Amino acid sequence: MSLASQTIKGLQTLLQKKEIQPKEIIDSVAEAAAVRDGAIGGYLGLDQELAHRDAEEISGGVLAGIPIGIKDLLNVKGQPCGCASKILSNYIAPYDATSIAKLRASGGVPFGRANMDEFAMGSSNENSSIKPVHNPWDLERIPGGSSGGSAAIVAADEAIAALGSDTGGSIRQPAAFCGCVGLKPTYGRVSRFGLTAFASSLDQIGPLTKTVEDAAILLGAISGGDKNDSTCLDESVPDYVADLQGDIKGMKLGMPKEFFGEGIDPAIRASVEEAAKQFESLGAEIVEVSLPHTEQAVAVYYIIATAEASANLARFDGVRYGYRAPDAENLGEQYAKSRAQGFGNEVKLRILLGTYVLSSGYYDAYYLRAQKLRTLIRQDFTSAFETVDAIIGPVSPIAPFKIGENVSDPLAMYLADIYTISANLAGICGLSLPCGYMTPSDGQRELPIGLQILGAPFDEGKVLKLGHNFEQSTEWHQRRPSLG
C-alpha cells in the first residue's frame, strides 16, 4: 500500500514510530497525482519543493508532516488563489487564511490547489474556467461541486485529505458522488477569514477525508475562535476524536418524509433505508420527522446566495488585483470589460440574479420574503431536534450524471442540491459518508451513494460518532475506484 492511500490516522502511527518521514508522504502524493490526475483534473497546481520546505519547519502537532489538499478559494501565503477563475488568474495570496494558519499550527502541510467550480458556483465542477474535474469512479461523469476537485483527489488517493467549502452542499455532495467522507461544520465553528466569499451567511470550510475519524482529526485542527471573523464561535474546541468512542444505543434518528418523495432514484432510496436498518441494529431508534419547508429551500437559497454573491464579487473589478481587460479605453469600460471577460457564464448569471433580487421594487418581493422563509426552515430543524438526536437521509436524489448532460438545464442542476441546501440555510452541521453503490441505467461502472447525517448547531461530535459507528460496522468506506 502506497503512503498516498493511507489515512491521516494511519500516517500518524507511522510518523510517531519514525518509520517514515513527511517528505516521503509528500512524494507519494505527488507521484499518485502524476499518474492519475491527467485523467481526473482534480489539481490546478502542486508545489512539491515548497511542501518539502514547509515540512522541514514542522516541530509537532496532530497533523505533523501530513500534506492536505486545499480548495482553490482558500488563501495560502505565497501561492495562487484563483478560485478556478480567469479574473483571478494572476493573484498570489499575501496571507494565510485562519484555517490554513490553524492547519500549519497542527503540523499540517498545505499541498496543492484543488480544482473547483468557479467561485464555488456549481454542483458539477464543470464551471471551472481551467478544466472540468472527472469522477474517479467513472471518468465520463461529474464528481459533484463545487468542491469536486477536493473530493476527487481524496477518493483517487491523490491526497491524504483535503479542505473544501460548503455553501449549499459543496462538500457533502462531492463526497457522496466520489465515495469519501465530507463534513460541513456548523456556521461559526470554523473561521471564514481568508476564504474567498461566495455567500457570507452560508459559506463554511470543512474537511474531505477517507474516514470519519480523519474528518474528526482535521475538524479539530481547523476549528476555534478568530478575532478576524466576528461570526466565528470563540470557545474551546471539543475533542472530536474522543467523541467517537462508545456505542449509539438509545439514540433517536429522524428520517424526513420530504426526503423520500418523488424524484429520488430508487437505488439511492433503498441504500439509505438499508443504512437506517443498520443504525437500528446498532441500537438506535428510527422515527419519521417532517421538514415541511424543504420544497422551498432551493428557491430561498438561490435568492439569498446570489444576492450575497453579487455584493461579494463586486470587489473583482480589474482595479486592485486580478485580470484587467487590455482593450479598455476608459474606467467604465475597464470595469465592464474586465468583469465580462474575467467571469464565466454561471458566475455572471448568479451576479445578475442577485443584483435583480436586491434592486428597488423587487427587494421585498424576493429577498425579504426569502429571509422570512429561511427563518421557517431553521425552525423546522429546531422542532425536529427537540425530538431526535440527529437526522439521516440521502445526500442527493440522483447519481452523478455525465459531463455535459445538464449544462443547458440549470434547474436540473440546482434541484440536485435539494437535500443539502437546507442545512446551510439553517446553519447546522452535516456529514456525508458512503452507504452503498449503484450502477445507473445509462452506465457500466459502479458509483457511490452517500448517506447524510444532520445535527443540531455545534453537534459535530454527535454526528461524527454516529457516522463512525455506521462506518465501522460496514465496508462501504473500504472501496476505492480502480485507477492506474
User: What are the E-state strand segments in 173-248?
Assistant: 181-184, 204-209
- Give the three-class secondary structure for 156: coil
Beta strand segments in 140-295, E: 162-166, 181-184, 204-209, 252-256, 285-289
Relative to beta strand 67-71, strand 162-166 is parallel
CA atoms of 175 and 145, how far apart (whole Å): 9
Q: Which of 170, 223, 338, 422 is catalytic?
A: 170
Check 28, 146, 147, 310 and give the catalytic one: 146
User: Is 128 designated active site?
Assistant: no
- 71 catalytic residue (yes or no): yes
List, in order of start, the domains of the chain with CATH numbers: 3-254+384-478 (3.90.1300.10)
473 catalytic? Reply is: no
Active-site residue, selected from the candidate residues 28, 71, 271, 422? 71
pLDDT in tens, the chain (484 residues): 799 999 999 999 999 999 999 999 999 999 999 999 999 999 999 999 999 999 999 888 999 999 999 999 999 999 999 999 999 988 999 999 999 999 999 999 999 999 999 999 999 999 999 999 999 999 999 999 999 999 999 999 999 999 999 999 999 999 999 999 999 999 999 999 999 999 999 999 999 999 999 999 999 999 999 999 999 998 889 999 999 999 999 999 999 999 998 889 999 999 999 999 999 999 999 999 999 999 999 999 999 999 999 999 999 988 888 899 998 889 999 999 999 999 999 999 999 999 999 998 889 899 999 999 999 999 999 999 999 999 999 999 999 999 999 877 777 778 789 999 999 999 999 999 999 999 988 888 999 999 999 999 999 999 999 999 999 999 999 999 987 4
The pTM for the full model equals 0.96
H or E element in which residue 393 lies: strand 390-394
DSSP 399: P
Find, among 432, 394, 477, the residue nearest to 171 by Cα. 432
